[in-house]
Amino acid sequence: MQRFIESASATAINTRSHLLIACTTLLLAAGCSTTSSPGDALTSSPDSGGLPVASSPAVTTPARAHAASPGTAAEGSAASRPHWTSRDETATTGNLWDRIRAGFAMPELDSTLVAEKERFYLSKPDYLQRMFARGSRYLFHIVEELEKRGMPTELALLPFVESAMNPVALSNAQAAGLWQFIPSTGREYNLDQNWWVDNRRDVVKSTDAALDYLQKIHEMHGDDWFLALASYNWGENAVARAVKRNEARGLPTDYLSLQMPNETRHYVPKLIALKHILQHADTLGVQLPDLPNRPYFVTIEKTRPIDLKLAARFAGMTVSEFVALNPAHNRPVIAASRNNEIKLPADRVDAFIDAVERHGQNKLAFATWQPYTLKQGDTLETLAARAGIPVNELRVANDLRAGTNVLPGTRLLSPWHEVQDESRIETFNGPRVYELVNRPAVYHTVGARESLGSIARRYGTTVANLQAQNGLKKAVASRGLRLLVREASSQTMLTTEAGERRVVAQSEPRIMRAVLREEVTVPAPAPVARSKAPGPDAATPEASRTRVAKRSGRPRVKATASGLRPGAAGGSPAKSPVGAVPLRTSQHGKSAPVRRVDKRT
């Protein structure tokens, strides 16, 4: 049995600092489970694959379990498992709301908008409760990071304003996550965004990036937090230009004196209103959820892929609960090389590790979602039925739109009951999809004061084409006439792993076999003596004739195996009807389309 976790470490946070909590080295080999001591800090062994194992005083150090020899099962005991000891209780007692209030340091904002926003929030108590309940998972981490940097804890309330503390929130401007990073700013702050993960939604990584950015713009605006917050919402350059305009006019340059969009004008008052509600929750009748002053989650580092549903089951969580702590993962399987961290509630780690050990001892796969290339006869429906999942789940996992007509040659992710090599998932960069796209015919009814010229310009065609398609002798179309503007057609589209779409050439054999409408039959050729200068009777009609089933409205076409029309003067190539593909016969007697580099679907 392959190892699932060669090196696992969890990061727990106490009141003043991060404590790196080492999990253990879990070796799952052919029915054995061996646990190495976290006390072996930054050491490597053949069993751990050369990976260091960090240690921490927050985890007890059990005696080293005896290593199991190959093929021998080692019995795990309670003493050999990592134990999650309690943190410094003197530092984690009390209520996190009190701790947040104690860190408020921003000045008051003298604006009537603050009272207006207070009334808005207080008129929606259910909305407030939902926000605060979601925040209970993330606030301890955010407050911890703010205190480390000496930043005011009002900023812990900013995700309530930005995303209602929803880590999967996505705006119309494609801003994502708790802190609502747009794609370009996310990349600037090293938040990976690819087919596998979007770290703008990662709670830990996005919080680090947001606080880095806030510190930068706070310094840029002369340590003015209100201007820094305006920059976070509106853009640092936009605020800088507004400041310069006021300076040029001899006007004040504080937040309330600048000309700015309404959204930015209301942005800071929302934050200050939430601050006031927290300060006077009892007086205002706002019931805050219980929020202990201790870490809600810890981070596990892993080196093996694992299905997301399986990880949730190991932790005793629903999939939605697991995703709430791990919203950065885009796929139903977590690839170790793309993002090697998962976050778990601090009180579920022991259960998770126990479940991992049992699963490995039973020699079961951890990552059942694996790359698969569709073969002839495969469809999404048959693939989903084989895996025992709804076809829509397969579509969502591979970002396939409903109604996509996938063709053989498509490479995507699919779950399997038996997996030989789980590491194959690490080389998968995204689906490579071939699909047949049917374009319906386009018609246009001629209206008043319309001409063939204006209609041609509207649809990007020519008057000559409109005449030919509609049998018009003159370039005139009477009012009410229904014109065929574009004939129905089919195209084979390729969507690459990078998301680029293009029409593929008909000359690609595997695609041609999937999209050709002609039924082609080629009999096995009779042996023909090869000569240096073949004559007109070098191949008999019986040995060279191919049969092409006619399309609707097209006559039967016969062609020789050499591609020449019998009796054609000078051996000129025979002309094929539109859409027909000339064939060649391989040495094994199998038919294959001739490569036509100048023909595209």
Query: What is the pTM for the complete model shown?
Result: 0.68
Average pLDDT over residues 493-501: 92
Give the model's pLDDT for residue 430: 94
Average pLDDT over residues 509-520: 39
Among all residues, which ones are annotated catalytic?
A: 162
Flag whether pLDDT at 555 surpasses 80.
Answer: no
Per-residue model confidence as pLDDT tens digits over 139-169: 999 999 999 999 999 999 999 999 999 999 9
DSSP conformation letters of 295-314: -SEEEEE-SS-EEHHHHHHH
Question: Cα(9)–Cα(175) distance, rounded to whole angstroms?
Answer: 31
CATH 3.10.350.10 domain residues, the chain: 441-487
Give the model's pLDDT for residue 237: 95
Flag whether pLDDT at 230 surpasses 70.
Answer: yes
Average pLDDT over residues 370-375: 96
CATH number listed for the domain at residues 94-284: 1.10.530.10
- If you average pLDDT over every residue of the chain, what do you get? 77
Question: Cα(53)–Cα(25) distance, rounded to whole angstroms?
Answer: 7
**Joined tokens for residue 63:** 């005696």
Average pLDDT over residues 109-136: 96
- Looking at 366-517, which runs of residues are DSSP E strands? 369-373, 411-415, 433-439, 442-445, 482-486, 489-495, 501-503
Question: Cα(26)–Cα(353) distance, rounded to whole angstroms?
Answer: 8
Give the model's pLDDT for residue 21: 38
Give the model's pLDDT for residue 337: 86
Give the model's pLDDT for residue 504: 87
* Confidence band of 93 (pLDDT split at 50, 70, 90): low
Average pLDDT over residues 509-514: 41
Question: Cα(503)–Cα(490) distance, rounded to whole angstroms?
Answer: 10
Average pLDDT over residues 30-51: 32
Per-residue model confidence as pLDDT tens digits over 418-433: 898 999 999 999 999 9
Give the model's pLDDT for residue 403: 86
Measured between alpha carbons, how far is residue 391 from residues 33, 307, 309, 320, 379 in Å? Answer: 37, 18, 17, 20, 10
Flag whether pLDDT at 556 surpasses 90.
Answer: no
Give the model's pLDDT for residue 190: 96
Question: Cα(561)–Cα(545) distance, rounded to whole angstroms?
Answer: 6
**Joined tokens for residue 32:** 């054995």
Give the model's pLDDT for residue 94: 81
- Secondary-structure class of domain 441-487 per CATH: alpha beta
Per-residue model confidence as pLDDT tens digits over 430-442: 999 999 988 899 9
The single-letter code of the amino acid at 326 is N
Average pLDDT over residues 377-397: 95
Flag whether pLDDT at 323 surpasses 90.
Answer: yes
Give the model's pLDDT for residue 92: 56
CATH 1.10.530.10 domain residues, the chain: 94-284
Average pLDDT over residues 203-208: 98
* 304 close to 26: Cβ distance less than 8 angstroms: no
Per-residue model confidence as pLDDT tens digits over 444-481: 999 999 999 999 999 999 999 999 999 999 888 899 99
Average pLDDT over residues 546-568: 40
Per-residue model confidence as pLDDT tens digits over 42-91: 233 333 333 223 333 333 323 323 333 333 333 333 333 333 333 333 34
